[in-house]
């Protein structure tokens, strides 16, 4: 399989060189053979989350391919703990994972460019080739009809070797089994096992996954859950240094004081959500012949640290709630409204006692199929903001040093993912918009003033 990209007058060859199946080094015990998905998991989008970490050549190995055997062995040992990831789940409406130890596909690929050239000369869409078998958000769903009885692997891995000896480690994880926190915890676990060497005596209990058990809930979800609309869209990176974000926060405080609806001490995520949302809606209005189009904000909140009874940070699953509200007219694009509404919903979530309480609330909502579909269809037109800046993205050290870049591939239309910059001195916002909207927002003077 060869893919070619035209970049700066030369053709870049990216070639698949090998495929293997990696199974857990020890069989999964019989009492763990079935892993039930929670209602949160069943409601998650039917898509794969793609994350890639880039590492330059540090001269530790004679060849970057020498790293491959080490990665395979450590992945096998990591799957002992993350045993559901080596199982199989139904492609259509899964309710459990068959922890069959069938294994994870491990693909090795080669790119004839130096890593530095690839990073500096590639558009975000060029990352797609780094991920296994098109497992990039919804892309894998568009390969024809799916047999309801067909199963799929929750996890796939691709290790990409560059001509300079640099490496990109890419993983695609089914959103039906886990969220963003889970995928970064897995990557850090795998990296730590690799760094620790072949011995089994290292105490990794502090990073081992924590699997929750859930009461069985007889909730029949709608069969045809809506997907977010796709179309012609692109993803671009906007980097906001902390110093500029502080200026933005000061501006928000001043603006809201003047209107009599003060927002004190806005967080970085709150400030950027308001700015990006305001500019995205303005761009969409210009594209729409200047006519304002009602939409809304959807913000994902990690439940692990936001419940009265907090959960371990290594808890596996879709442990987040979507905080959503409309921005139905231009008067609702003020920082007082956007941030104020976000804080109200965050306060409601923080009042929930535990995960079971949150699940009970969601189960009650899901009892009305019509209401569920109406909500999901409404959210398809909302702008989604996800914050992963506190996740251990730049701690993923396989023993070759920390990555020079970590990013998410194939971001879905009207979704923004806020990540830390490599040095932790700002926020890298991956913004995905309609192609025409992106042309406008890339020239928005208000937005660029804080980049």
What is the set of active-site residues? 175, 397
Q: Count of CB atoms within 10 A of residue 402's CB?
A: 15
Residue with tokens 């015990």, as numbered in its chain: 29
Contact 133/140 with Cβ under 8 angstroms? yes
The residue among 48, 155, 149 whose CA lies nearest residue 99 is 155
Within 13 Å and on the Cβ side, how many CA atoms surround 441?
A: 29
**For residues 188 and 185, what is the distance between their CA atoms, to the nearest angstrom?**
5
Short-list 185, 178, 210, 186, CA closest to 75? 186
Q: Which of 397, 443, 411 is nearest to 55 (CA)?
A: 397
The most distant pair of C-alpha atoms in the chain lies apart, rounded to whole Å, by 65
**CA–CA gap between residue 446 and residue 135 (Å, rounded):** 36
- The distance in angstroms from the start CA to the end CA of the chain is 39
For residue 196, count CB atoms less than 10 angstroms from its CB and return exposed for 0-12, middle for 13-18, buried for 19 or more: middle
Sequence-distant (≥ 6) Cβ neighbours of residue 354 within 8 angstroms: 307, 308, 309
Alpha helix (H) residue ranges in 311-423: 335-350, 355-366, 369-379
With vertex at residue 182, the alpha carbon angle to CA 178 and CA 187, rounded to the nearest 5 degrees, is: 125
The dihedral formed by the CA atoms of 422, 423, 427 and 432, expressed in degrees to the nearest 10: -10
Give the other-Cβ count within 10 Å of 136's Cβ.
24
Residues 6+ apart with CB under 8 A from 251: none
Structure tokens at 419: 């990540």
- Gap between the Cα atoms of 283 and 286, Å rounded: 5
């Amino acid at each position: 399989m060869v893919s070619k990209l035209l970049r700066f007058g030369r053709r870049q060859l990216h070639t698949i060189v090998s495929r293997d199946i990696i199974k857990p080094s020890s069989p999964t015990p019989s009492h763990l053979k079935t892993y039930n998905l929670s209602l949160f998991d069943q409601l998650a989008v039917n898509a794969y989350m793609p994350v890639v970490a880039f590492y330059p050549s540090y001269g530790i190995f004679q060849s970057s391919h020498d790293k491959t055997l080490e990665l395979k062995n450590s992945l096998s040992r990591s799957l002992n703990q993350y045993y559901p990831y080596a199982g199989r789940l139904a492609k259509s409406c899964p309710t459990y994972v068959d922890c069959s130890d069938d294994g994870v596909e491990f693909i090795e690929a080669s790119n004839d460019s130096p890593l530095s050239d690839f990073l500096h000369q590639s558009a975000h869409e060029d990352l797609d080739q780094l991920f296994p078998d098109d497992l990039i958000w919804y892309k894998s769903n568009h390969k024809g009809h799916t047999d309801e009885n067909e199963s799929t692997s929750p996890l796939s891995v691709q290790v990409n070797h560059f001509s300079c000896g640099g490496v990109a480690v890419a993983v695609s994880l089914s959103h039906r089994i886990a969220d963003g926190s889970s995928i970064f915890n897995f990557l850090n676990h795998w990296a730590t096992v690799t760094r620790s060497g072949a011995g089994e005596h290292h105490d990794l209990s502090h990073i081992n996954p924590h699997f929750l058990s859930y009461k069985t809930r007889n909730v029949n979800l709608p069969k045809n859950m809506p997907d977010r609309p796709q179309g012609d869209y692109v993803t671009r990176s906007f980097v906001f240094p902390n110093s500029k974000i502080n200026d933005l926060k000061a501006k928000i405080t001043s603006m809201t004081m003047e209107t009599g609806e003060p927002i004190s001490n806005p967080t970085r995520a709150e400030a950027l959500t308001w700015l990006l949302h305001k500019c995205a809606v303005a761009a969409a209005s210009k594209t729409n012949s200047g006519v304002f189009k009602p939409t809304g904000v959807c913000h994902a909140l990690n439940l692990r640290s936001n419940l009265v009874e907090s959960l371990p940070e290594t808890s596996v699953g879709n442990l987040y709630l979507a905080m959503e509200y409309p921005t139905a007219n231009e008067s609702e694009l003020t920082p007082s409204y956007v941030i104020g509404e976000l804080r109200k919903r965050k306060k409601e979530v923080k009042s929930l006692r535990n995960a079971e309480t949150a699940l009970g609330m969601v189960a009650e909502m899901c009892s009305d199929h019509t209401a569920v579909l109406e909500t999901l269809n409404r959210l398809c037109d909302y702008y989604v903001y996800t914050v992963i800046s506190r996740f251990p993205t730049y701690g993923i050290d396989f023993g070759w040093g920390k990555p020079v870049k970590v990013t998410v591939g194939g971001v879905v239309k009207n979704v923004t993912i806020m990540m830390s910059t490599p040095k932790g001195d700002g926020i890298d916002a991956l913004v995905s918009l309609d192609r025409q909207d992106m042309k406008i927002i890339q020239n928005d003077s208000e937005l660029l003033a804080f980049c």
